Structure 1
Amino acid sequence: MSITATASSGMRAAQQRLDAAAQNVARMQVQDAQRQRVTQTATPDGGVATQQRQEPGPPELTQELPEARDASYAFQANLKVLRTHDAMLGSLLDVRA
């Protein structure tokens, strides 16, 4: 898998984690709401696979805010990889031209 595909995969996984945390915060006041959780697994070709599942118990703000922040940082890190790869590729093309 290419660097672009790997970074894009990480960004999608981080976005899914952020979405789940936001949904959990939105449903905190709902009776019998269950927490949604996104788990990530590394794939053999270098990407990330995600799986969303329900966890027993209600969502709690003390879990959701750190999860949202962590997902945001993961997204930013993968975006930095993507931008760096793009810049390096551009430099390589400039040298070759």
Structure 2
Amino acid sequence: MSSLNAIASSGLSAARMRLDASAGNVANMNTLGYRAQRVVQQATPEGGVDASVQRASAEGVSLEREVVDQLAAKQAFLAGVQTLRTGDAVLGALLDVRA
């Protein structure tokens, strides 16, 4: 089983990839023939997530979809940070009990 920090880190990394891909999509939305990048995520058996970037099958960028992707990535960041904070609090409580 992976540590809580490793699981949270993989989620934070995936969220960063989503923001990077979305930023590139918005920057290139007026580029003729551009196909948007999408981040595909899959849970790993040991905990955490694997993420990879793939190109969309069709040309074009939907600004509405990019806004939603950016908001979802923001929420994923906040969830990852909260996971790290909770892990630190639990570890601190365990150390207090053991001391």
Q: What is the TM-score of this pair, normalised by structure 2?
A: 0.92
Whole-Å separation in 1 of the counterparts to 2:20 and 2:74: 10
Structure 1 position 90 matched with structure 2 position 92: yes
Q: After the TM superposition, which parts of structure 1 deviate over 3 Å for at least 4 consecutive aligned residues?
A: none
Structure 1 position 71 matched with structure 2 position 77: no
Q: What is the TM-score of this pair, normalised by structure 1?
A: 0.94
Whole-Å separation in 2 of the counterparts to 1:32 and 1:57: 6
Whole-Å separation in 2 of the counterparts to 1:80 and 1:47: 15
How many residues of Structure 1 are paired with residues of Structure 2 in the alignment?
97
Root-mean-square deviation over aligned CA pairs: 0.9
Listed as ranges, the gaps of 5+ residues in structure 2 are none
Whole-Å separation in 2 of the counterparts to 1:47 and 1:81: 12
Whole-Å separation in 2 of the counterparts to 1:17 and 1:24: 10
**Which amino acid in structure 2 is aligned with residue 89 of structure 1?**
L
